[in-house]
Amino acid sequence: YTELVRLIRFFTVKKHHRFGVGKALMKGIEQQLSTKKAELIWLNARTNAVPFYEALHYTAHGEGFAIAGIGLHYCYFKRLNHD
């Protein structure tokens, strides 16, 4: 059994990019979920967010896919540690 968590509609406004806001939010979410014994986070990332999630050690799964009215996305996941 794996406790699976999906993040949806998660992004930072462009004017807040490159200030560490997104990274701080993701690290906080991961820490909170880890204390709740979640094991796996998954999300759909826009192509421009791929480097961000890969820098946070998320792994792509499968091929890219289009979401109508939004654009190309990729599915990413990350296993959480329970240290």
Q: What is the pLDDT of residue 83?
A: 62
What residues pair up with 66 in beta bridges, in sequence order? 72
Say if residue 1's pLDDT is above 70: no
Structure confidence by residue, pLDDT tens digits, 5-59: 999 988 888 898 899 999 999 999 999 999 988 999 999 999 999 999 999 999 9
What are the two backbone dihedrals, phi and then psi, of residue 24, each rounded to the nearest 5 degrees? Answer: -65, -40
Say if residue 64's pLDDT is above 70: yes
Distance of alpha carbon 70 from alpha carbon 72, whole angstroms: 7
Give the pair of three-digit tokens for residue 14: 């462009």
